C-alpha cells in the first residue's frame, strides 16, 4: 500500500519525536502492509514551520537509516501545508513541497472552519497546474455541518483525503458515518493514515481499506488504492462520477426553466 500523508519524520512536528520513534513507525508501516510513504510534516499551521529544504534533507537521512537497518520502506518528501497568507508566494520561492514531486499538493484547513480564501487558493493552484488535496475534510466543523462547502472545492478541481482512523471508526461512529458518506459521494478520493506515532495515532491503513471494502464494495476501495498510486506516480485522477452529467443538465434545465 501507499500512504500519502504521515508524520514519520523526526524532530519536525507533533509526529515522531526522535529517530527511535521514526524508525519504530517505519516498522509499523511495513507491518501494516505499507511499502511507500510520503512524509508530510506540518508547515505554517501556527506551531510548526518546516520549509522544503529541511524536509528533503530529513527524508534523505531517513532512507539511509532504513537501508542500513534493512527496512524496505521507501520514504518520499511531502508537506502538509496550512492555508495561509503567504502560501502562493512561498510556493513560488521553493519553500513548499508537493506530494512526492507530483502535481498533487496537500492542504490543511483549520479544524473549526473553511478559510475565506480557500476557493481562491485552490483556484490559483489549479491555474498553476497543481491539484490541491484537502487533508481530512471530515474533521472540519464547517464541512461536517454542510458537506456542500467541500463539494464546491471538489467541483473546482480539488481532491479530498480522508483519514484511515476516521473511516475505521476510531474517532467515533458519527465521524465514521460522515467519512463513509463523503467516500460514497466521491467528495474524498484517497485514504491516508495521517499517522503521528505508534500509539494513539498509528497507521491503520489496512483496517481502513477493509472497512471501505466491506461497507462500500471492492470498486470503491479499488478506486482509493489506485488514486494513492496515481498521486505517487503523478498520474491524472479522474473524479467525475456518473451523476455529474445529470447534474449539469439539471442545472441547464433549471436555468431554462427560470428564464421562461
Ligand atoms: Fe497530518
Averaged pLDDT, 39-43: 98
Query: Nearest to residue 238, comparing CAs of 159, 183, 161, 162?
Result: 159
* Structure confidence at residue 242 (pLDDT): 41
* Structure confidence at residue 239 (pLDDT): 83
Q: For residue 46, give the 3-state DSSP assignment.
A: coil
Query: Nearest to residue 11, comparing CAs of 57, 78, 72?
Result: 57
Q: How far apart are CA 172 and CA 184, in angstroms?
A: 18
Instruction: Using the mean position of ligand 1's atoms as its centre, give its distance from the Cα of residue 244 in Å.
Output: 30
Residue 92 has pLDDT above 60, yes or no: yes
Instruction: Using the mean position of ligand 1's atoms as its centre, give its distance from the Cα of residue 102 in Å.
Output: 18
Instruction: Using the mean position of ligand 1's atoms as its centre, give its distance from the Cα of residue 137 in Å.
Output: 12
* Structure confidence at residue 241 (pLDDT): 53
* Structure confidence at residue 17 (pLDDT): 97
Percent of the chain with pLDDT strictly greater than 70: 92
Buried b (16+ CB within 10 A) or exposed e, 191-208: bbbbbbbeeebbbbbebb
Instruction: Using the mean position of ligand 1's atoms as its centre, give its distance from the Cα of residue 248 in Å.
Output: 34
Angle, helices 205-216/218-232, rounded to nearest 10 degrees: 140
Instruction: Using the mean position of ligand 1's atoms as its centre, give its distance from the Cα of residue 40 in Å.
Output: 7
Instruction: Using the mean position of ligand 1's atoms as its centre, give its distance from the Cα of residue 260 in Å.
Output: 50
* Structure confidence at residue 238 (pLDDT): 87
Instruction: Using the mean position of ligand 1's atoms as its centre, give its distance from the Cα of residue 240 in Å.
Output: 26
| Torsion angles phi and psi, residue 191, rounded to 5 | -115, 140
* Structure confidence at residue 121 (pLDDT): 97
Q: How large is the C-alpha radius of gyration of the chain?
A: 18
Averaged pLDDT, 95-121: 97
Mind listing the pLDDT tens digit for each residue in 202-223? 999 999 999 999 999 999 999 9
Query: Nearest to residue 175, comparing CAs of 164, 185, 159, 160?
Result: 164
Residue bearing the bigger pLDDT, 259 or 152: 152
* Structure confidence at residue 40 (pLDDT): 98
Report residue 39's pLDDT band, with 50, 70 and 90 as the boundaries.
Answer: very high
Instruction: Using the mean position of ligand 1's atoms as its centre, give its distance from the Cα of residue 8 in Å.
Output: 10
The residue to which cell 428564464 is assigned: 259
Instruction: Using the mean position of ligand 1's atoms as its centre, give its distance from the Cα of residue 107 in Å.
Output: 10
* Structure confidence at residue 248 (pLDDT): 47
Instruction: Using the mean position of ligand 1's atoms as its centre, give its distance from the Cα of residue 19 in Å.
Output: 19
Out of 3.10.440.10, 3.20.20.140, 3.10.20.30, 3.90.1150.10, the CATH code matching 2-258 is: 3.20.20.140
Report residue 90's pLDDT band, with 50, 70 and 90 as the boundaries.
Answer: very high
Mind listing the pLDDT tens digit for each residue in 220-256? 999 999 999 999 999 999 886 544 544 444 455 455 5
Residue 79 has pLDDT above 60, yes or no: yes
Q: Tell me the pLDDT of the chain averaged across its residues.
A: 93
Q: Rounded to a whole number, what is the largest CA-CA distance in the chain?
A: 73
CB count, 10 Å around CB of 147?
17
Amino acid at each position: 500500500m501507499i500512504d500519502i500523508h504521515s508524520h514519520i519524520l523526526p524532530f519536525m512536528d507533533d509526529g515522531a519525536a526522535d529517530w527511535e520513534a521514526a524508525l519504530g513507525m517505519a516498522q509499523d508501516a511495513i507491518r501494516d502492509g505499507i511499502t511507500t510513504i510520503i512524509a508530510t510534516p506540518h508547515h505554517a499551521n501556527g506551531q510548526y514551520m518546516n520549509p522544503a529544504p529541511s524536509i528533503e534533507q530529513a527524508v534523505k537521512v531517513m532512507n539511509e537509516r532504513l537501508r542500513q537497518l534493512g527496512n524496505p520502506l521507501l520514504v518520499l518528501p511531502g508537506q502538509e501545508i496550512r492555508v495561509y497568507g503567504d502560501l502562493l508566494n512561498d510556493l513560488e520561492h521553493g519553500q513548499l513541497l508537493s506530494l512526492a514531486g507530483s502535481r498533487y499538493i496537500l492542504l490543511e484547513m483549520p479544524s473549526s472552519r473553511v478559510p475565506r480564501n480557500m476557493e481562491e487558493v485552490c483556484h490559483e493552484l489549479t491555474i498553476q497546474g497543481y491539484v490541491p488535496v484537502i487533508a481530512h475534510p471530515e474533521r472540519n466543523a464547517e464541512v461536517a455541518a454542510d458537506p456542500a462547502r467541500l463539494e464546491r472545492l471538489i467541483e473546482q478541481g480539488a481532491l479530498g483525503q480522508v483519514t484511515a482512523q476516521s473511516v475505521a471508526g476510531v474517532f467515533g461512529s458519527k465521524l465514521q458515518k460522515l467519512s463513509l458518506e463523503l467516500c460514497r459521494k466521491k467528495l474524498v478520493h484517497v485514504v491516508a493514515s495521517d499517522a503521528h506515532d505508534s500509539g494513539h495515532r498509528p497507521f491503520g491503513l489496512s483496517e481502513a481499506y477493509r472497512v471501505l471494502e466491506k461497507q462500500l464494495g471492492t470498486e470503491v476501495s479499488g478506486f482509493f488504492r489506485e488514486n494513492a498510486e496515481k498521486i505517487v506516480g503523478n498520474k491524472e485522477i479522474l473524479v467525475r462520477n456518473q451523476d455529474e452529467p445529470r447534474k449539469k443538465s439539471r442545472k441547464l434545465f433549471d436555468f431554462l426553466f427560470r428564464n421562461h
